[in-house]
Amino acid sequence: MRIVYHSMKKKANEGTAVPTAHGAFTRGLTGMTGANLITKALGYARDALMVAFFGGGALADAYYAAFRLVNVFRRTVGEGALNAVFIPLLEKEKAKPAPAAAVFFSSAWTVIFSLSALIGLAGIIFRRQMVTLAAWGFKGEPGQLELTALLAAVLMPHLLFVNVAALFTAALNSARRFFLPALAPAAFSVTVIALLLSFHSGFFAGLDGRGKIILLAAAASASGLLQALALLPALRKEGFALNFSNPLRNLSAAPALLAAAPAALTLAQDQVSMLINTAYASFLPAGSVTAIYNSARLVQFPVSLFAAAAAAVSLPELSARTAAKDIEGFKRHLKPALVSSWLIMLPAALGIAATALPVCRALFEHGRFSQEQSLLTSRALFWLALGLPAYGFNKVSASALYALGRQKEPLIIISSQLALNAALCLPLMRAMGAGGLMLATSISSWAAALAFLAALKKHSGFSPFSDLPLFRPALSALLAAGTALALRRLFTSSGPLAVTAAAVPGAVLVYFLSLRGLGVEERKLITGGKF
């Protein structure tokens, strides 16, 4: 079986190592970011149509609470978490004779498929118990808990399909193929958008709101199968086959993957944090769960577009350098991932905070979504955005530590972060409502970032304070945020769409011009070297 593996050239340890490493990283990041941009744009179109059709009330709250619960399982077993766990293991197998990697993949496929199917089945059987724990406050609303439990059961097959697709993605990323795996999740948005447009066109008119939200959950669940099927031809082209391993003869990946289960949980920390927030928000007025979901979706845009992409693109090379015991090469490949995350997350945090209300109004205030719901969402978004730089740093740092074979530290750090988040939620919720829940997440994320900083320095010698450009980009971000505020005030009378259309591109332009003016050469990592 042919297993494609693109190793770095021998010049990686010579004088041209930095440009080579940065060039390969930039090419991978550009492809993955382009695909993520398409996926996220479709995702926001989906969310805008969703709230326009169903509003921000009880039906939407039930759907988003159920989806958040499924998302935790999805992100724990699959997606970015599986990438970080599976790729280092596969890289080690690639160093062995060719059959080893093929056998290992078949074993991993058997483990992931079986585990996901069992979790999905358990989720259907114990749907009410899980929803009760995740949204306890719904018990006080007649029928709300029952509807949320039903939606969770309908969504559970999505877990199997998406986790299988996540394994395919990890194998393709290991082969340095990033564009198609990053584009495949768009199947979810396309499916949901198509159904919402059919509702708008008069199809399924015999269904009431409850029936339509259940049908929407079924379509969302089925979209995972489309995602997996879209990746299958590329997977086969790379030489991987979907052969189940006989558990009595060979299940080589099982011990390694199960031993790395805590790693998967820590890499799904953003979803676990939001699940904690959702549980608290279920006690708040109707619309709070939807506000939390939509604000988290907006913040996930730069995180997925750059931080998660940087982590995914750098992980294969970080793992390869660790396997070769090349710590200097490890640091060379870690730097562009952290630099690109910092250069995007910091201005995104300040820019989103400055334009939270007009952006929420422009994106969501249509159909049944009211101005009051936009205000609620913008308050949650403001406080959540302040943690963006920390989210990005944590995403890359966790993957880097796993590539180093350090599984204990991320588990301790993220577990402590989640505990701090849960402890802060109650007092901040009482004082600030949904916005307080988001502030709890931001504060706990910054605490985790400081811990990750110390762990990276200890195990690799990499120090952000000496190895990364921090202060000049911070000045550029402040100038960009000031521009966004000025344009927001200037165009306020023209409406939220005009404010967003002026403030967002204006702030981006000022940011990159100031980066260039201040001589921040690292900007070329995210511009492809063209500016």
CA atoms within 13 A on the CB side of 254: 14
Closest CA to 172 of 82, 235, 254: 235
Burial class (CB in 10 A: 0-12, 13-18, 19+), 25: buried
- Helix axis angle, 288-302 to 371-385, nearest 10°: 50
Cβ atoms of residues 354 and 481 within 8 Å: yes
> Running along the chain, 531 residues long, what does each successive block of 10 average in pLDDT?
37 38 62 79 88 86 89 63 71 78 84 88 92 86 90 93 88 85 90 94 92 95 93 90 72 62 66 87 90 88 68 66 74 81 89 94 88 94 94 84 80 91 95 95 95 88 79 93 94 90 93 92 75 67
The SS3 call for residue 374 is helix
Quick one: how far is CA 487 from the chain centroid?
30
Distance CA 402, CA 84 (A): 7
Closest CA to 362 of 494, 482, 252, 247: 494
Closest CA to 130 of 160, 152, 159: 152
Cβ atoms of residues 479 and 490 within 8 Å: no
The residue extents of the domains of the chain are: 17-468, 469-531
Arithmetic mean of pLDDT over the chain? 83
Distance CA 280, CA 295 (A): 16
Alpha-carbon distance values, 83 to 212, 253, 439 (Å): 35, 14, 29
Residue 249 zone, left/alpha/beta (φ > 0; ψ -120 to 50; rest): alpha
φ, ψ of residue 333 to 5 degrees: the values are: -85, -20
Angle at 181 between CA 124 and CA 527, to 5 degrees: 130
Distance CA 309, CA 31 (A): 10
Distance CA 149, CA 26 (A): 44
Distance CA 104, CA 407 (A): 21
